[in-house]
A and B are shown apart, each in its own frame.
Chain A
Amino acid sequence: MLDFPGAKAAFTSRMEFISPNAAEAVPCFRILDDLGRALDGSDIPEIDSSLAVKMYHTMVRLQTFDSIFYEAQRQGRISFYLTNIGEEALNVASAAALTKDDVVFPQYREHGVLMWRGFTLDEFANQCFSNEDGHGKGRQMPIHYGSEKLNYFTISSPIATQLPHAVGAAYGLKMDRKNACAVTYFGDGGSSEGDFHAACNFAAVLEAPVLFVCRNNGYAISTPACEQYKGKHAIQLLAGRGYGMTSIRVDGNDALAVFKAVSAARKLAVEQSKPVLIEAMTYRVGHHSTSDDSTKYRSGEEIAHWRSVRDPVLRFRRWLESNAWWSVEDEKELRGAARKEVISAMNQAEKKNKPPLSELFTDVYDTLPRNLLEQEATLRDTVSKNPPSLAPH
């Protein structure tokens, strides 16, 4: 054995370069087949009917909210929106496997995680319409949700910055000996960022209890995964064996597999204070956002296929039905109720006032500094002396 500080390894007298395509692709864990039937030899996780039905309710509510608010943007009622279509199972099942003390660091396509934790439809709608009741005080673009109470860090736009943040937070949880971990989500595109590499490396070195959940949905705006990285293992082997982390690849459209994998990963992270990577394979059915038209770079047939035949919500529903936990009547009732609730939340949020001028200068610093007090006074003076076009509402 040679024992350089950099590595302990056996020596060899044969010079052999390692091909990047040497090994087989990392296999993908699933429990249900595409039609929602448990595969032979599967070990179904312990989920009772009430948990399963609650998960399904949340997926449907998320799907309904996405479709109505996407349309609202098209109609000019809000300026921007971004959907989770195709990733409902991944969102909700992963959230259901966590506890409320686990701290979530999202990218931006994880509204289902927040919805599972209890963010109400009104709260979602208020933020999108940036009205005076919005938690963000009118400071952020739509879908940039956050909740201190629900341990869900406020969404910030730059890609992958949340990854090192999550590691730092996990380290803090470890120092405080909390029975909790940090959980951070990112897309296949985000794995190209420098922050991803720094975060993975540091999580392993610091032995931080953090789950890295990669939503590998195939696209980063128009860039397909095959152009984002080379090598069939990339995210897996890199973050996993490359940086020294335990890892798994899972079918992100299989709610049961996601639930089981995240539950096990969480246990490992919290009990052994280790980072774990979960690469969840899925498909981004919707456009990147309302600023994108994905038909420009992928075929309508491809989108339609994943939207219908490979819909993760339908797949989970079939499993519920096979257990006699769900019926056609239940479906009709839920879809109708969800639609009504979302539309009501939207209409209420739209009618509310915009945030007042008093919130323009707060929260820049802990206490309002003198220059901002002066600016506010000058602004109020200007507003009072000038036509209503400058009035805050």
Chain B
Amino acid sequence: MFPGIVRSSSRHLPCRRSLMTVRDALNSAIDEEMAADPKVFVMGEEVGEYQGAYKVTKGLLQKYGPDRVLDTPITEAGFTGIGVGAAFQGLKPIVEFMTFNFAMQAIDHIINSAAKTYYMSGGQIAVPIVFRGPNGAAAGVGAQHSQCFAAWYGSCPGLKVVTPYSAEDARGLLKAAIRDPDPVVFLENELLYGENFPVSSQVRDPNFTLPIGKAKVEREGTDVTITAFSKMVGFALKAADELAKDGIKAEVINLRSIRPLDRETINASVRKTYRLVAVEEGWPQHGVCAEVCASVQEETFDYLDAPIERISGADIPMPYAANLERLALPQIEDIVRAAKRACYRSK
């Protein structure tokens, strides 16, 4: 053996699945869609020269120039209104919010200008716009940077709302969102940007898309259904590992889409397991889980063997101190306990 030469047998195996971060998945999706369609452009604070506040738009200004990657002044209401106007005129803007918390300054344009216009114009004015950015809790960023907006946007007819978890979700759903003629709210998660996921060559294909409105069964099981979206999918999968040690086989559903919500997949799963734990990071009242519960109660009541469990964030503005923040958010243990309660294994 010569020093410096490393022999690795794995290098000789065909590599059909490789790793990709969620950030790279989003970046490559935007890049490919911009290359394919000259009407697609990106706008937001810090998206150009700074390469994106979270580097999701890295390299795009250099590649497509300032006409298609617009650094905006600080006015969410302003640039969102401008983006919607561009969409009315037939362009396909991707509007980035540094966080969806700041999009509240623009929510009038998202709801009243984007969501409702196609309907109000009698089908004459389409709004093919994507609003994207980090949503929900990060780590130690306090109340005004931690709110989850899935339930608010999810209740609005005229909008589509998607919540990717993995790199595959990020690529497929963002490409679908950009191609979609309807306005799409694309809720990412800051803590997932750097996470690596295995992706197949099919996912890397420039024409790969995922249907908006279809959930994914991430893990099959027979004893209890756990629904989750975004970062909580990872927690649900870990909870399923824990439950398996106690002989409880949990089925984990990654919702992927909040509006339209894939009621068929959720209900089909509960018809198999008879028990449901619905998980989200956001606030409990009028949350996404409330809608999941209502749907299952309406369509699959006769199959339920136990009351539905809901796990959500605490009903308070997010505190900053690390210990308080941890207490305010769902943890893996909370999901495990809820699943056991649903299985009558504990109180």
Contacts and interface: CB of A to CB of B under 8 A. Distances in A.
Interface of A: 79-80, 130-131, 136-141, 144, 156-160, 189-190, 192-194, 220-223, 227-229, 296-297, 354-355, 357, 359-361, 364, 371-372, 375, 379, 386, 390, 392-393
A88 B146 CA distance: 31
A192 B75 contact: yes
Q: Of B140, B321, B333, which is in contact with the most chain A CB atoms at under 10 Å from its CB?
A: B321
A138 B50 contact: no
B96 interface: no
Q: Of B50, B71, B73, B144, which is in contact with the most chain A CB atoms at under 10 Å from its CB?
A: B73
A131 B322 CA distance: 10
A156 B74 CA distance: 16
Contacts of A140: 142-143, 320
B73 A361 contact: no
A383 to B, nearest CB: 8
Nearest to A386: B333
B49 A194 contact: no
Contacts of B75: 192-194
Q: Of B46, B102, B141, B324, which is in contact with the most chain A CB atoms at under 10 Å from its CB?
A: B324
Contacts of B46: 221-223
Interface string B36-58: 00000000011001100100000
B74 A372 contact: no
A343 B18 CA distance: 48
Contacts of B145: 141, 157
Contacts of B45: 221, 223
A221 B323 CA distance: 30
B73 A79 contact: no
B327 interface: yes
B328 interface: yes
Given A139-B142, A193-B74, A158 B105 contact: yes
A2 B225 CA distance: 75
B142 A222 contact: no
B320 A360 contact: no
10 contacts: A138-B320, A139-B143, A140-B142, A140-B143, A141-B140, A157-B142, A157-B145, A160-B74, A194-B75, A392-B324
A359 B319 CA distance: 10
Interface string B324-338: 101110000100000
Interface residues of B, number: 35
A140 B73 CA distance: 26
Q: Which DSSP category, helix, strand, loop or mixed, fits chain B's interface?
A: loop
A231 to B, nearest CB: 13
A88 B333 CA distance: 48
A106 to B, nearest CB: 15
A354 B144 contact: no
B194 interface: no
Contacts of A79: 139-140
Contact of B315 (A189, A222, A371): A371
A317 to B, nearest CB: 34
A220 B75 CA distance: 12
A159 B76 CA distance: 10
A361 B316 contact: yes
Contacts of A228: 73-74
Contacts of A139: 142-143, 317, 319-321, 324
Contacts of A157: 142, 144-145
B73 A223 contact: yes
B77 A194 contact: yes
B327 A223 contact: no
A360 B314 contact: yes
B347 to A, nearest CB: 10
Contacts of B317: 139, 364
A220 B323 contact: no
Interface in B151-205: none
A360 B144 CA distance: 16
